[in-house]
Amino acid sequence: MPAQDERQRRFEAAYTAHHGPILGYLLRRTDNPDDAADALAEVFLIAWRRLPDLPAEPQARLWLYGVARRVLANQRRGERRRSALADRLRADLVDAYRPPEYTGELARIAAAFGRLPEAERELLALSAWEGLGYGQIAEVLDCSRNAVRIRLHRARRRLAAELDRGPAQPVPHRAHVPSGDFR
């Protein structure tokens, strides 16, 4: 069936182009390679099922980041779903990947970053880790560019304040996960 072939071709193109960056996005945000593997399978399963919603390049990656963010948010809420799709990937990642443990200055930055609310961490990360601009972040988070500019500015100030505070008592992580409205 030609439509099916076209669908398949489109999915495979997106998968080939974006599996690395999406896996990177996931691994930078979770300590657990098992969770990253499951999330990667979930993200691309959603992409496959929602292929008509997947925008053309170069917006596709931003759309996938948006999906990845929600899948991770679900995992953080405790909604883990071990997927058989990810069996082999999970095994590969567990074998090949160890999250780095930071010491010294980096540990201090990581601790300050960890004390920020999740929404601010995500803004800073999309900017610094994925290298996105205001407009692109706005697309991932589904909010206005202006909201991104203002919130990012605020997040940077808070990070600076946290860094100045120096090594503080560990603050218990808030379980809060943004539901998606950054407006």
The three-class DSSP label of residue 158 is helix
H-only helix segments in 28-144: 33-49, 60-76, 87-96, 104-115, 118-128, 134-141
Candidates 35, 115, 137, 139: give the one binding another protein (CB under 8 A): 139
Site size toward another protein (CB under 8 A) is: 83
Candidates 103, 149, 159, 161: give the one binding another protein (CB under 8 A): 159
Helices 60-76, 2-27: inter-axial angle, 10-degree rounding: 60
Candidates 6, 57, 81, 161: give the one binding another protein (CB under 8 A): 81
CB 77 within 8 A of CB 177: yes
Candidates 32, 57, 58, 100: give the one binding another protein (CB under 8 A): 100
Q: Is 119 in the site for another protein (CB under 8 A)?
A: no
Q: Is 125 in the site for another protein (CB under 8 A)?
A: yes
Q: Is 158 in the site for another protein (CB under 8 A)?
A: no
Which secondary-structure segment (H or E) carries 12? helix 2-27
Q: Is 173 in the site for another protein (CB under 8 A)?
A: no
- Residue 148 or 159: the one with the smaller Cβ distance to another protein is 159
Candidates 6, 117, 128, 133: give the one binding another protein (CB under 8 A): 128
What is the distance, to the nearest Å, from the Cα of residue 24 to the centroid of all Cα atoms in its chain?
8
CB 7 within 8 A of CB 51: yes
Subset of 22-51 contacting another protein (CB under 8 A)? 23-24, 27-28, 34, 40-42, 44-46, 48-51
Distance CA 55, CA 64 (A): 10
CB of 52 to another protein, least distance (A): 5
